Structure 1
Amino acid sequence: MAREIIRSEEYQALWPLAIAQDAKSKKRWNVLLDGKKAGGVYAVSLGGQITGFRASHMAPGWQGALIIDDPLKVEDAYSKAARDKANRKLVSTVKSRKAQPDTPIVVIMQRLAQEDPTGFIQMGKVPGDWTFVSIPALLEDAYVAALPSGYRDRIDASLRDEHGRFSYWPYKEPLNDLCALEQADRYVFTSQYQQQPRALGGDLIKSEWFSYYETPPRILLRKVYADTAQKTAEHNNYSMFQLWGLGEDNRLYLLDLIRGKWPAPELKRRAIAFWNSHKPYDHKTSASLAQMLVEDKSSGIGL
């Protein structure tokens, strides 16, 4: 891609450079200026072989940079071992590949987790002076106000969501699409789109607190909890009914749940049916249903 950009008419009109004819590989090639090699590109995976190669040259002035693009794969974001491996590369391999101390390092990535390479750098684990540039997909007025005037004037904030937010690029990322993505998976959206990753599993309730069971112990108390949504459109949240039980081992067990997008009459019918389906009980294994608790907001007020 980089070579094709340099070869384009638009690039050549601004910076007339030729690609050296000895560039046989897409991973390693040089450009010519006045018939002489004037720098080039060596592209390799983060864990690839770069023995004997340094970024920039040992000469005065700016001689090049080390650019790291997406050092952590999306599918590795949930793996502590993969995150630690990528972070170790920043300290061990990458730092040793600078030809001189002033060779800049540029890391380009979407945020994936609090402990991803960007977070690792922000925690001060990689020496040097770093500048962080974050571009969230949904912008707020405070973010735009902090930008230089030349950028503020180019932002289209005419279409906003209920919180006053607007898309950073309405043509490519329509506001409705971003809001739907946020509703579908808040963790992924907050991390990859808003560049503000939360702790895996949430900030208050940790995923490692949960485990699975095949057969629960004797249940001493059973209650139904209802979390209802305000609207039933595709991008809105689900309504949920859950049956929870307190085991004789003093642990909480999720025993059953249903979820859906139901208007008020159907929501009521579902609530009654869910309650009645769990009303029968065996006193040897569980207690009777004690209560149904409904969140006092949205459609839950009517329910």
Structure 2
Amino acid sequence: MSTAIWEAALEAAARFFEPATHTGPVTPGDLARIIDPRTVQTPALDLIDAALEQLLDEPDGRLIITMPPQEGKSTRVARDFPAWALVRNPDLRIISGSYAQGLANRNGRAVRNAIAAHPDLGITIADDHGAASEWSLAGHHGGLVSVGRGAGVAGRPADLLIIDDPLKDRAEADSPTIRDTCWDWWTDALAARLAPGAPVVLITTRWHEDDMVGRLTTLDADAGWQVLNIPAQCEEPDTDPLGRDLDEYMDSARRRTPAQWEARKRTAGSRTWAALYQGHPSPQAGGIFQRDWWRHWHHPPTRLDHVIQSWDMAFKGTDRTDFVVGQVWAKIDADYYLLDQVRGRWNFPETIAQVRLLSDRWPMAIGKLVEDKANGPAVIDTLRNELPGLIPVEPRGGKTVRAEAVSPLPEAGNVYLPPATTPWVQAFVDELASFPNGSHDDQTDAATQALAHLAITPTGPATHGTGFWDIG
């Protein structure tokens, strides 16, 4: 490396890691309340503040924050954070990008106006650089450049890069061309302007599994991207970032009540709710299981060659965290019929009661497949002398492999579900369409277990099988 290049690299690193020359607000949230006393500081914003503080202290840090819309995330990251970072280090050169130049300018103007309105922060805007799209601090190297998606940033190095909502809406997210444009913007323009040690934060709502978040966490996974996803509603208490109880909604910066969250969930629909509000999008048509593959029976079949139950139990040691699912399946010639399903968050005694009830309702379903994991062995031990045909099933391979193995059956039109008006059928279709990116896979596991078994044991009682399940 030449001496000139080495000295330039050292200068850039020194600028980034230079200790703050100003005292000021301890967190971005503290600064937000100075800028706007009406700011509502929620537990979700506390988490974001902590993540941003850590990012700024971590060389080459990479952070993705996803959270429901209208809950203060963009204001915190695109306005409060850059102002707070400049108070800490006025020599930081910041690039802030968004899906459109207008939005980028609005963000840049908000940061500039906040600094200008609060001289007590210890920094001031330079007289000759006051445009919304580009301005600098008086007496320092630092400042902010705002760019819209696709805009060039040649000649503008970044000590900190902020990307706020690279996609505008569903229409853009569903366009492969625009998704490719976003990716090219990152690889060809933004990433090329990063100074040594410069951190990057992407703040967005999820629209599509192949959006910028999806690509960064797969194609650029080696960069060490940290993902902070804060869902509107708690799905897994054991891993919930806010430590909430099951199904509890987040404290809203807009003061939404639980009833208002419920109303929004209904009007959003399952696909939008899963993507924008829970942070795990799925293809509209589906992934391994396409939505339009499923057929529906309108009258229960009168001839049943082989009828079984298939159970996916809750994990041991968790209290009503996971769903328990029991399904009844039948095979007639080359076709497979889902006849019935029960699903709930049940403790062990309740699970035992549900197995008994389903067995009473479908006495012809003598074979009862129970995955040999979670509470499955305990269920079998408890009911072995009461109910016949309890079969422990040891899954082979991962969930995705097992799903792919049976996916040709619905694809060929050989799988029939109850009428679409049946209350639980739409949730079944939605879950399998979102697999493996959805928040739950209990219905998927029960269904793939049943289909695999019926495919290898077309008639007669269950016997030892081959394929992805061992029947033992």
1:189 maps to which of 262, 273, 279: 273
Structure with bigger helix share is 2
Which residue pairs with 1:236 in the alignment?
none
Which residue pairs with 2:163 in the alignment?
68
Conservation of the 8 A alpha-carbon contact between 2:206 and 2:276: yes
Q: Please state if 1:4 is matched with 2:88.
A: no
Q: Please state if 1:47 is matched with 2:147.
A: no
* Secondary structure in structure 1 of the residue aligned to 2:219: coil
Q: Please state if 1:86 is matched with 2:182.
A: yes
Q: Please state if 1:31 is matched with 2:137.
A: yes
Which residue pairs with 1:168 in the alignment?
250
CA distance in 2, matches of 1:209, 1:73: 31
1:95 maps to which of 191, 209, 215: 191
Conservation of the 8 A alpha-carbon contact between 1:182 and 1:190: no
Conservation of the 8 A alpha-carbon contact between 1:90 and 1:126: no
Which residue pairs with 1:20 in the alignment?
126
* TM-aligned CA distance change 1:296 to 1:93, over 3 Å: closer
Compute the displacement of 1:189 (Å): 1.1
Compare relative contact order (CA 8 Å, sep 6+) and give the higher one, 1 or 2.
2
Which residue pairs with 1:252 in the alignment?
none
Which residue pairs with 1:241 in the alignment?
none
Conservation of the 8 A alpha-carbon contact between 1:20 and 1:29: yes
Which residue pairs with 1:214 in the alignment?
none
Q: Please state if 1:142 is matched with 2:226.
A: no
Which residue pairs with 1:228 in the alignment?
none
CA distance in 2, matches of 1:92, 1:182: 38
Which residue pairs with 1:62 in the alignment?
none
Conservation of the 8 A alpha-carbon contact between 1:111 and 1:197: yes
Conservation of the 8 A alpha-carbon contact between 2:271 and 2:281: yes
* TM-aligned CA distance change 1:126 to 1:23, over 3 Å: farther
Compute the displacement of 1:46 (Å): 2.2
Percent identity of paired positions between Structure 1 and Structure 2: 23
* TM-aligned CA distance change 1:171 to 1:111, over 3 Å: closer
CA distance in 2, matches of 1:129, 1:17: 33
Conservation of the 8 A alpha-carbon contact between 1:113 and 1:198: yes
Compute the displacement of 1:200 (Å): 2.7
CA distance in 1, matches of 2:233, 2:154: 42
Compute the displacement of 1:298 (Å): 5.7
CA distance in 2, matches of 1:180, 1:80: 32
* Secondary structure in structure 1 of the residue aligned to 2:147: coil
* TM-aligned CA distance change 1:109 to 1:296, over 3 Å: closer
Residue by residue, what CA displacement relative to the aligned partner does 1:103-141 show, whole Å, maximum 9, x if unpaired? Answer: 112111111110000010111336522111111111243
Compute the displacement of 1:176 (Å): 2.2
- Where does structure 2 lack aligned partners over 5 or more consecutive residues? 1-109, 300-417, 426-472
Compute the TM-score of the two structures, normalised by the length of structure 1.
Answer: 0.55
Amino acid paired to 1:175 = P
Which residue pairs with 1:133 in the alignment?
228
1:122 maps to which of 217, 233, 256: 217
Which residue pairs with 1:233 in the alignment?
none
Alignment of 1:126-275 (within 5 A): 127-140=222-235, 141-144=237-240, 164-170=246-252, 172=254, 173-184=256-267, 185-203=269-287, 205-206=289-290, 224=298
Number of equivalences: 194
RMSD: 3.3
Compute the displacement of 1:43 (Å): 0.4
Compute the displacement of 1:177 (Å): 2.6
Amino acid paired to 1:120 = R
CA distance in 2, matches of 1:182, 1:207: 21
Which residue pairs with 1:289 in the alignment?
none
Compute the displacement of 1:201 (Å): 2.0
* TM-aligned CA distance change 1:28 to 1:171, over 3 Å: closer
Task: Spell out structure 1 runs of 4+ moving beyond 4 A.
Answer: 207-210, 222-225, 293-300
Compute the displacement of 1:206 (Å): 2.9
CA distance in 2, matches of 1:208, 1:126: 33
* TM-aligned CA distance change 1:176 to 1:127, over 3 Å: same
Compute the displacement of 1:49 (Å): 2.8
* TM-aligned CA distance change 1:95 to 1:299, over 3 Å: closer
- Where does structure 1 lack aligned partners over 5 or more consecutive residues? 57-64, 158-163, 211-221, 226-292
CA distance in 2, matches of 1:89, 1:299: 43
CA distance in 1, matches of 2:422, 2:229: 35
Conservation of the 8 A alpha-carbon contact between 1:69 and 1:108: yes
Compute the TM-score of the two structures, normalised by the length of structure 2.
Answer: 0.37
Amino acid paired to 2:209 = Q
